[in-house]
Structures are given as C-alpha cells and as structure tokens.
Structure 1
Amino acid sequence: MEKQEAKSLGHRLVLVVYPFQGHINPMLQLATILYTKGFSITIAHPQFNSPNHENHPEFHFVSIPDGLSKTNFSPSNFMAAISTLNSNCEAPFQQYMEEMMKVEDPHDRVASVVYDGFMHFAQAVANNLKLPGINVHTSAAATLLLFAVFPDAHHEKGYISFPESLAQAPMPELQSLDLKGLLGSTKIPIPILELRAIVTDTTKKSLNNNSEHNALP
C-alpha cells in the first residue's frame, strides 16, 4: 500500500521505540500517520530487535547502543531488560540529539520527542534539551489509569497486599472496575510496582512539560 505524503511542515519528530512485541508496530503506525500530516520522522531504537528499516524508507532510523543481546536476554525477566535499556540508552541518545540539533536544517527542526512509556529515559533527554516530550502508551488507555493509582494503593492503602479489602473500600478513581478481579490474590512484585511509579511520574512530567510548550506545531 502506497503511503500518502503531505506537504512538509518544516518540523521533525523523534520517536523512541521500545523493542518488543506490541510496542514496535503501534509506534511505527503512529509515525506513519504523523508523516502523512507533514512531519519529518526519525525513529530512534535500541540495537536489540530493531525494526526493519527497509519497510519504511521515508523515515530516518537511528540505532542506539543498549547493552542487550539475544544471548543475555530472557523473556521471563523483562523488568531487567527495561532497566538495562533505560540505563544504557540515555547517554547515547542524548549525544545523538545534541549532535543532530547542532547541524539541523532550520527548515527541519526537531519539534518534539515522542517516546514509548517504557523508554522513560527519553523524557529526561527532552527536558535537558528544552524540548517537549510526549509519552505514548501502546496498551489500552485504562492501563495508564491503573498505573496512576497503583503506587498509592501499594504504599499507602495496602490494596495490592490485601486484595480482599477492595470490595469493602474501593478506590474512588476506579469505582467502575472490578479491582479484586483485576488484581487477583497474589502480590505484585516490587520491581513492577516501581516501574509503574516511574512510568506514572514520567507521564506527569510529560504533561507538565507540554503545558509549557506547544508539543506539536
């Protein structure tokens, strides 16, 4: 299917991709939509499980060193992979962005960094460069709401550790959901709760950042 092209707006968007199933394609689909609206697109991705560049010749791809390999990655320990990606990708991504912005065409300036929520290091880079950062979640919208209330639930209300209390004292933010059914009867591992807290905090920073900038021209 031939991709539609639109008149260039003179702005470039840098999309940062999380390199796992269910995340790559939605970001590339978003990039395609933005491209048809006239934005130039750069796809920044880890070296691990990189997208096929040949499928999208209209985009500029940048490979970021990540410290992951097929030999040291285990699908059962995706939390370690997320931590490794965020620890190892921030510095090279910051360096790439700085170098790109030094030589960028005045008619093709970077307007924003759009990143998968699991690649939260990108918000720090956007902040350092005084650029808007847009946090994108490829999962259902309800997931973000759950992320937003779970840190409080775990640390202050104890609902995660004691799911039986949900029926008696439901969280007002999630009144319409069957929380006991969602949470089950087991504890959620601390690393997952910590990730949810980080993603939620980064999303809030993204919203605050964008309130001070026009994220998309």
Structure 2
Amino acid sequence: MSTQSWLNQGSLVLASNNKGKVVEFEHLFQQLNLPVEIIPQGKLDIEDAIEDGLSFVENAIIKARHASKLSGKPALADDSGLCVPILGGAPGIYSARYAGEHGHDAANNQKLLADLVPFRKEGEAIEGMFVCVLALVTHAEDPLPQIFQGIWKGEILAAARGENGFGYDPLFWLPELNVSSAELSKADKNKISHRGQAMQLFKASLV
C-alpha cells in the first residue's frame, strides 16, 4: 500500500495506551496539521503488545504490527526512552518499567537517581538522551515498515524540576535553555523533543 493509498483511508491507529504519550501525539498531530485522524488503540479495545525486542526499532515494529493486525488499519507506533551512556545506555528500552512496574514514573525516576549516585562528581554533568523511534506499517505484514528516529540530548539532574510532561521529563535538563523538559510548555517541548523530531520526519514522508 502506497503512502497516498493509506492516507486516503483517513485514519491511522496509534499503537499506545500510555496516556501521556497519547496526549503528546494528539498535540503533535494538531501542531503539524497532518491530514489524517489518529485513533489511540485503546479506543478500539486493543491491549498493549508484548515488547520482546532488544531495540527501540524492534519494539516499535512489534507494536505497530500488533495494532494493525487487530484493527485492520495502518498503524503508527512509538518506542521511546531515556538512554544514559554512563549506565551503558540504561534505562533504554526498559525506560517505562525500569523500577519493575510498568509506567510508574516516580519509582523509575527514583531508581535512575539512585543508580547515578556513584557516578556524580561535582562540576561534571551526566549526559543523557531521549530517543524516539516511530514505525509506520500500512498493514500487519508490511514488509517495509517506515522508520523515523529522533534523538534529544541533555543532562540528567540530581533532583526533579518542573510539573509538566511525564516519565523522566523532570530529570532531563536542557542547558542551552536553562530549563528541565518538565518546565517546558507542551507546544515548546513538541518543537524540539525526540518525539517532535521523529514526527517532523514522518510528516516530511507524506509530501
């Protein structure tokens, strides 16, 4: 199925039940003025796929195929997370369940802070990066999923700052802006974030 033919269907399933992520995507689709209706898979009673890949790309494709198979529609999946090089890339693909329970933001943030204590040195920043991989499949067995990747570099704070966003946003420091990700408005975050970057590439592919 070509881009034009699936666009003509007018709708696309978003393969996520993460409320924070769904809200962010809805804002992104509005900001980018994309010519397609986004349907969160939860509205179709589609449960989360089993993410047993070993990379963001693998898991994004698994989720997209799962949603497409159960909906019969094209699907877009996001697999994203925080990678901290000094921790060997952790939490990485396990970002949402780093502390053991899926989606427990406070526990995940506390574990990350604890894991970084031995590495903190006065005057030295700990680098981190948010990664987003989007996978688009036009049908469940699409042999050529389209992949769009965004990377957002920053630093990891020693204590949370800000009330906006979700996940690790309160610990993600942007030195060039002198704010944490959780101190940005949704609109400002979407312009520069890993997810915003990947969505810009997705939009460019539709032209």
Q: State the TM bucket, normalised to the shorter chain.
A: under 0.3
Of Structure 1 and Structure 2, the greater helix share is in 1
Q: Which is higher, the Rg of structure 1 or of structure 2?
A: 1
Of Structure 1 and Structure 2, the greater strand share is in 2
TM-score (norm 1): 0.25
TM-score (norm 2): 0.25
